[in-house]
Amino acid sequence: MIDTTAPTAVLFGLTYILRTKRYALVMEYSPLGTMEQQPLATTWKDVMEQAFRISANLDKMHRAGVVHGDLHPANIVFSSQRPMIVGVGLSRAVTDRRAVAYRPPEAVEGADGTKAADVYCLGTLLWQMVTGVPPRRETKCGDSIPGAAPEYNDIIQRCWDKDPSARPSAEDVAGFTSFWLYRCKHKDDESPFLPETRAFVAERRAVHLEQSEADGFGSLTSRL
């Protein structure tokens, strides 16, 4: 039986593929694909639920002494509505330019295999949970999401702190989102995105699509 509370997809073993002559991991099936392939959020409740589950999963890993080292949307997969973290410790080199947006500043010096580095990447995921696209470089210098709770923008910026020791823990992020969901539940309020948030998301996605096509990356993969 699959453990539905596990932070990562269940690993069943290895298999050898005769056609490619390579080994492959056999893991729990994730029928809903990656984070990039999920429908865009339309309410803050949707965002906070996803943020809580992913940050709580990362916290479980960190408590077990496991550092991911390569956290980005392609390494978040969904089974039903349960997000799971995959690719733990398997990829150290950045071979895809799109993954650079998720790397912490200290990665330049090869010091990215830490919990703090994972949290930096988590901050970028928090941004993308709203916009559907990674942030632009200048975004990490104080930009914020219109219509978001000030605390949400604040925790993203704290995750992006250039000083790894100043970043919150995954537990801190999970605690913040859990508290927000608790308040939301008692208010019976899903907090739909305000018009300024929807306009911001549309603008950022349009710019990202234009840049991606110019770079030869193709179209966006998030489901509309």
Question: Which of 6-20, 22-36, 77-91, 152-166 tops mean pLDDT?
Answer: 152-166
Identify the top-confidence range among 6-15, 88-97, 167-176: 167-176
Model pLDDT, residue 59: 95
- Asked if residue 1 has pLDDT above 90, the reply is no
Judged against a pLDDT cut of 80, whether residue 215 lies above it is answered with: no
Q: Are 71 and 102 in contact (CB under 8 A)?
A: yes
Q: pLDDT digits over 172-191, tens only?
A: 999 999 998 888 776 666 78
Q: What is the pLDDT of residues 44-87, one digit of tens each?
A: 999 999 999 999 999 999 998 989 888 999 899 887 767 888 87
pLDDT of residue 21: 81
The yes-or-no verdict on residue 224 having pLDDT over 50 is: no
Q: How confident is the model over 135-157, as pLDDT tens digits?
A: 877 667 668 999 998 999 999 99
Residue 164: pLDDT over 70: yes
- pLDDT at position 27 is 63
What is the pLDDT, as a whole number, of residue 4? 47
| Residue 114: predicted pLDDT | 92
Answer yes or no: is pLDDT of 26 > 70. no
The confidence score (pLDDT) of residue 90 equals 56
pLDDT at 154: 95
Among 38-42, 104-108, 160-164, name the one with the lowest average pLDDT.
104-108
Helices 170-187 and 44-63 pack at an angle, to 10 degrees, of: 150
The full set of domains in the chain, from first to last, is 32-215 (1.10.510.10)
pLDDT score, position 95: 47
Express as a percent the part of the chain with pLDDT over 90. Answer: 43
